[in-house]
């Protein structure tokens, strides 16, 4: 029997803007998507997978390597899961899940790779989803660059992102008002971790870094040592810093979902006792 259902939001981006014009390759990181989803499935949770346009996310080639996994066997298992599992091959649009009713979902997860920086952070449907999960205090997890997707919950996320790209910090700070997660402690891919990707893969610099963007909107950002596992929990939000945080974040999310399940059952029993004759 299923323990509940988790909404997983993916990105459709495969290019990201770089300073001076042009774009570089991007996508979702294979381990950041698959490792937590596999852990959720193994723990007994169902998955509803969605992206803005309803197509399957592009995997960043830089992540499609054994180095991001425990060993060759783990990599092969993850790759096969991404390629063949119905869990990740039945993709809905975010809007379709909203229209189907968000109350059926017990938790939320968004993986990283730089792709969410392009589309998810300014997606209005994702903003609606996140505001629902925040209002109902349901476990909400983001990994690596994933926390930047929480910007979608801003009143005007597209304008906020445009201000960041323009380097207009004052304007971004003004547009950052009203963010539901202001004051939350969280982590995200650090500026120093970003540099090797910019130098070796993008061959250019991003218009803004993730910690600064979250800080401008009011987050209390805490980053640990580069490329070491680091997870931060504050209220319903769970954030992981980098690809190495995949397993710890999955464990933290499952624990939060299990706690909610126990608390919901206890609340239902208490309510039933109160109405019993």
Under the banding of pLDDT at 50, 70 and 90, the label for residue 271 is low
Q: Determine the pLDDT at residue 189.
A: 98
Show me where the domains of the chain are located.
4-272
pLDDT digits (tens, 9 = 90+) for 17-58: 999 999 999 999 999 999 999 999 999 999 999 999 999 999
Look up the pTM and report it.
0.95
Sign for the CA dihedral angle at 214, 217, 219, 220 comes to: positive
- Phi/psi at 247 (nearest 5 deg)? -70, -45
Q: Which pair of structure tokens corresponds to residue 41?
A: 């499935």
Q: Determine the pLDDT at residue 126.
A: 98
Mean pLDDT calculated for residue range 147-168: 98
Residues 55, 67: Cα–Cα separation, whole Å: 27
Mean pLDDT calculated for residue range 99-106: 98
Q: Does domain 4-272 have CATH number 3.40.50.2300?
A: no
Residue 277 in this model has a pLDDT that exceeds 80: no
Residues 80, 61: Cα–Cα separation, whole Å: 15
Sign for the CA dihedral angle at 232, 172, 196, 51 comes to: positive
């Amino acid at each position: 029997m299923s323990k509940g259902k988790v909404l997983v939001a993916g990105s459709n981006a495969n290019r990201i803007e770089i300073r001076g014009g042009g774009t570089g390759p991007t996508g979702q990181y294979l381990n950041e998507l698959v490792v937590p989803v596999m852990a959720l499935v193994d723990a007994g949770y169902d998955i509803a997978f969605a992206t803005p346009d309803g197509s399957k996310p592009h995997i960043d080639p830089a992540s499609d390597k054994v180095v991001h996994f425990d060993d060759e066997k783990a990599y092969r298992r993850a790759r096969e899961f991404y390629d063949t599992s119905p869990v990740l091959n039945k993709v809905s649009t975010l809007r379709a899940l909203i229209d189907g009713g968000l109350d059926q979902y017990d938790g939320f997860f968004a993986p990283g790779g730089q792709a969410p920086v392009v589309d998810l952070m300014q997606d209005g449907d994702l903003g609606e989803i996140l505001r629902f999960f925040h209002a109902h205090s349901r476990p909400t997890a983001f990994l690596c660059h994933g926390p930047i997707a929480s910007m979608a919950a801003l009143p005007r996320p597209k304008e906020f992102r445009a201000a960041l790209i323009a380097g207009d910090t004052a304007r971004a700070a003004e547009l950052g008002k009203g963010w539901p997660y202001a004051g939350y402690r969280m982590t995200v891919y650090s500026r120093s971790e970003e540099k090797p990707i910019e130098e070796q893969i993008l061959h250019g610099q991003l218009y803004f870094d993730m910690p600064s963007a979250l800080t401008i909107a009011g987050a209390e950002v805490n980053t640990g040592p580069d490329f070491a596992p680091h997870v931060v929990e504050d209220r319903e939000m769970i954030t992981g810093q980098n690809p190495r945080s995949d397993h710890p974040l999955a464990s933290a999310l499952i624990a939060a979902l299990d706690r909610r399940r126990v608390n919901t059952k206890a609340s239902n029993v208490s309510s039933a006792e109160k109405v019993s004759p």
